[in-house]
Structure 1
């Protein structure tokens, strides 16, 4: 950790959500979880918001709510070389549906598919799902971050209206946007991230009880999107250098999973030019090289 932390100096804090500028750029923590064992290093008690890591959780819940056919009739399965908040790419697609659920446009469509009779009920279901995945019933929304995001949500609001005008996003724009902002503003720790990663890597089963929380098919879909789209438009290079299915968020959160049920949670707020945690990326690349963790390694192929 000490050898890798200087990599954070090459990054900068996310500024387009002002609340994220309150993060301590020196914060750096990592938890590796498998079975009932945790290995922790650094500031693993620090809490941070999920931001785009929430996209894999909402996708899993939407797939369980609506099924694959319905979800992927509204959002694609293909990687994109464009920034995660692009609107230009939507204009090129016919029909104008987002290329994948990991970019903002796709995640907004996925959020609109979550079941609930009201916004409060929907975000309540999302939180309950997180409580089940993490085993941590204290997880809640950071109202300060959510308020900050609401004041600076014009681009995401524009994406919603564009998608609604093309019939891709159904329902109320402001209601969908509010649920999305709340899901991105959920507070977690590295341990929580690692446990979610462990369940995804363990084909959806709780590593301690063996109980299925995610259907294996959905866990496979989530893992695949993490490989192809989880690190924004650096996903290809990260797959080559680390080969660990991962999802990042602009808070500096980074979640990884391995096919043996190992989950990894990392937090370091300064971001590289692609919007991924600079030190977090370096850490996973280093761990992968040292311990041969890449899913593309001959010893890790099934």
Structure 2
């Protein structure tokens, strides 16, 4: 396993040259465009890493999966999906085009920014801090790492440039889907700024692969909630490249603009990948290449 992962890192490092670092979040411009790392954690407790796996990065949109889990645990499935839909969209992750043009009454799914803000606002807690403390605890429990923190410098960088997301929040407020624009935005952007490494991400993926059971065996949430999360990862997790990823790779996965990819192979393993250079859809170009080869080598596709 170690040899294969190192081989794939070496093979796909050059493809990073075809991607680019996002320039709309100032602090992310500092990432190494040629960085590439992977960790695999299996159900029989093997942990294998290769490449730049110790590199720390922020969850960004990967956090949407964990926020969805917590929101469903807090409110129940029916209440959450009364305010956010279940359908994929071919539009960019920060778009509300279909809501505006087709007069939808709620965001299409929890994996686009508008839907994620609604989901995060539903997390139980009287204040922004209480909501975030509960979300951070779930991230730590899934990764089994109490040192995971919110990277305040990343949050501040995103907060200062959050013009599109603030506009989305005002639109959601007009539809009565969130209570307070600034609070909803603060929860959402801070959850995006939670810092992890590939091993943390792989253990989170393992927890999903084991239907809510962590690496050490603690049941954190139900099989049903895990199934819901993995289903959204398949249908919506890789932005508007989710269909192609499902065909070529076939693994439930969620990407983030930091270059991270969370992948979960049911009953087999969790995978964490970092590759900051992104393709035109906003996904790690090197990370996708590695996962495609890995899926082929180990027959990981769920289809």
| CA–CA separation in structure 2 for the residues paired with 1:172 and 1:78 | 25
| CA–CA separation in structure 2 for the residues paired with 1:95 and 1:282 | 35
| CA–CA separation in structure 1 for the residues paired with 2:104 and 2:273 | 37
Residue 4 (str. 1) matches residue 12 (str. 2): yes
2:280 is matched with 273
1:202 is matched with 210
1:31 is matched with 39
1:146 is matched with 155
| CA–CA separation in structure 2 for the residues paired with 1:265 and 1:191 | 6
Give 3-state SS (helix, strand or coil) of 1:33's partner: strand
Contact 2:206–2:215 (CA under 8 A) maintained in structure 1: yes
Question: What is the aligned counterpart of 1:236 among 243, 248, 254?
Answer: 243
Report how far residue 224 of structure 1 moved: 0.3
Contact 1:96–1:168 (CA under 8 A) maintained in structure 2: no
Mean alpha-carbon deviation: is it higher for 35-44 or for 184-193?
Answer: 35-44
Give 3-state SS (helix, strand or coil) of 2:140's partner: helix
Residue 97 (str. 1) matches residue 96 (str. 2): no
| CA–CA separation in structure 2 for the residues paired with 1:11 and 1:266 | 16
| CA–CA separation in structure 1 for the residues paired with 2:175 and 2:128 | 23
| CA–CA separation in structure 1 for the residues paired with 2:87 and 2:102 | 12
Question: What is the aligned counterpart of 1:246 among 245, 253, 259?
Answer: 253
Question: What is the aligned counterpart of 2:291 among 284, 295, 300?
Answer: 284
Give 3-state SS (helix, strand or coil) of 2:10's partner: coil
Structure 1 gaps of 5+ residues are: 297-302
| CA–CA separation in structure 1 for the residues paired with 2:110 and 2:251 | 19
2:233 is matched with 226
Residue 155 (str. 1) matches residue 167 (str. 2): no
CA RMSD of aligned residues (A): 0.9
Contact 2:141–2:214 (CA under 8 A) maintained in structure 1: no
1:128 is matched with 137
Report how far residue 207 of structure 1 moved: 3.5
Per-residue CA distance 1:93-129 (angstroms, 9 max, x = gap) = 4442100000000000001101111111111111111
Per-residue CA distance 1:194-231 (angstroms, 9 max, x = gap) = 0000010111112432x211211000000000000000
1:76 is matched with 85
Give 3-state SS (helix, strand or coil) of 1:4's partner: helix
| CA–CA separation in structure 2 for the residues paired with 1:54 and 1:223 | 13
| CA–CA separation in structure 2 for the residues paired with 1:143 and 1:27 | 23
| CA–CA separation in structure 1 for the residues paired with 2:271 and 2:150 | 22
Per-residue CA distance 1:72-98 (angstroms, 9 max, x = gap) = 000000000000000212113444210
Report how far residue 7 of structure 1 moved: 1.2
**TM-score scaled by length of structure 2:** 0.95
2:196 is matched with 188
